[in-house]
Amino acid sequence: MNKRRLAVNALARAAVYLTALLALIPLGLVLSYTVARGLPAVEHLSFFTNIERPPGIPGGGIEHAIAGTAIMVGLASLLAIPVGVLGGVHLAEYGHGRLAGWVRLAADVLVGAPSIAIGLFAYALFVAPFHHFSAVSASIALAVLMLPVVIRTTEASVTLIPNGLREAGLALGLPRWRVSLQLVLPAAAPGVITGALLAVARAAGETAPLLFTTLGNRFFNLDPTHQMSSLTLIVFHDALTPYDDLNQTAWGAALVLVLLVLAVNLGSRFALRRQLSLAGKL
């Protein structure tokens, strides 16, 4: 009897370890294939300095897509991050009431809203009335996706700041808003910045909200009131063509995208950990 129990225990333990290994497999495979298939495209410098070319004509690149992603995500960040940080500070500093509970719930539900629906929403409000696609409308859609992430991560890091800091500021006669913005927020900065960076990375990886807003563009364009391409749109469109050279471009753009997203993720995590370990020593 005892032997059977121990055997079941060992078996279950092995199964749990196996699942942990199993979870690593897709990450390893996706990363290695993206590197292996993307590298032949990325190793030409012209990949970063040329715009896309029709199938069969060599030398195509993704310069216009990199610029498009940077501009659209940049605009979205300008819209979402300041507003989201202020909202998060409010929830952390004053959010004990019922209304704050509703705001939290709405933000958490909004995080899970399908991004394609947010694309439709941005199309209806910012594309259809003007009768043309634009990068700005895509930025607004991305900002809607980023906002709840920024609010919640800001709140989480501001809440962690000990009350002694607030009391010290108030005791020195600082008004509440200066305590929040000039004492508490800087102290919480690493967490706030990490949250904002993660939101930026998420926005850079989104495709669905761009489909009906910026649509894509085969040419280089820096004017946000017109269509732009993006890394994700290049991957999506070029992967679904039957041309080998365009598929190659898709893998190259995917590699650039993955490196960008992983760098932001690992980098911000590292910075946060350093700050937390410093804070632990205080």
Partner 1 sequence: MVRADRFRILTGGTGLLAPLALLLIVTVLVQQAWPAIVHFGPGFLTGRVWNPVSLNFAALPYIYGTVASASIALVIAIPVGIGVALFLAEPGQAGLRGAIGIAVELLAAIPSVVYGLWALFVMGPFVFKALETPLNNRFGSFPLFSGTARPTSLFTAGLILAVMVLPTLASISREVIRAVPGGLREASVALGATWWETTWRVILPAARAGIFGAVVLALGRALGETIAVTMTIGNRAQISPALFEPAYTLAAVIANEFTEATAPLHTAALVELGVVLIGVTLTVNLSAQLLLRASADARP
If one asks whether residue 271 binds partner 1 (CB under 8 A), the answer comes out as no
Residues 124-163 interacting with partner 1 (rule: CB under 8 A): 124-125, 144, 147-148, 151
Only one of the segments 40-48, 54-62, 221-229, 264-272 lies at the binding site for partner 1 (rule: CB under 8 A); that segment is 264-272
Residue 68, CA distances (Å) to 39, 74, 122 in order: 22, 10, 18
Residue in 74, 265, 271, 272 binding partner 1, rule: CB under 8 A:
265
Only one of the segments 6-14, 49-57, 60-68, 156-164 lies at the binding site for partner 1 (rule: CB under 8 A); that segment is 6-14
CA–CA–CA angle 85, 77, 266 (5° rounding):
85
Residue 95, classed as helix, strand or coil, is coil
Residue in 77, 134, 157, 180 binding partner 1, rule: CB under 8 A:
180
If one asks whether residue 236 binds partner 1 (CB under 8 A), the answer comes out as yes
Residue with Cβ nearer partner 1 (154 or 221): 154
Residue with Cβ nearer partner 1 (121 or 220): 121
Q: Which long-range contacts (CB under 8 A, 24 or more apart) does 252-256 make?
A: 252/38, 252/40, 252/41, 252/42, 252/47, 252/62, 253/38, 253/41, 253/62, 253/65, 254/34, 254/38, 255/34, 255/35, 255/37, 255/38, 255/39, 255/41, 255/42, 256/38, 256/42, 256/62, 256/66, 256/231
Residue in 204, 221, 249, 275 binding partner 1, rule: CB under 8 A:
204
Number of residues that bind partner 1 (CB under 8 A): 89
If one asks whether residue 29 binds partner 1 (CB under 8 A), the answer comes out as yes
Residue in 67, 110, 156, 165 binding partner 1, rule: CB under 8 A:
110
If one asks whether residue 208 binds partner 1 (CB under 8 A), the answer comes out as yes
Only one of the segments 59-67, 187-195, 206-214, 218-226 lies at the binding site for partner 1 (rule: CB under 8 A); that segment is 206-214
Structure tokens at 242: 């039957």
Residue with Cβ nearer partner 1 (61 or 93): 93
Least Cβ distance, residue 48 to partner 1 (angstroms): 19
If one asks whether residue 47 binds partner 1 (CB under 8 A), the answer comes out as no
Residue with Cβ nearer partner 1 (64 or 202): 202
- Alpha carbons 156 and 167: distance in angstroms, whole number: 20
If one asks whether residue 103 binds partner 1 (CB under 8 A), the answer comes out as yes
Residue 47, CA distances (Å) to 86, 198, 218 in order: 40, 27, 14
- Alpha carbons 31 and 258: distance in angstroms, whole number: 8
What residue ranges in the chain does DSSP mark as E strands?
Answer: none
Q: Are 194 and 211 in contact (CB under 8 A)?
A: no
Residue in 66, 72, 75, 107 binding partner 1, rule: CB under 8 A:
107
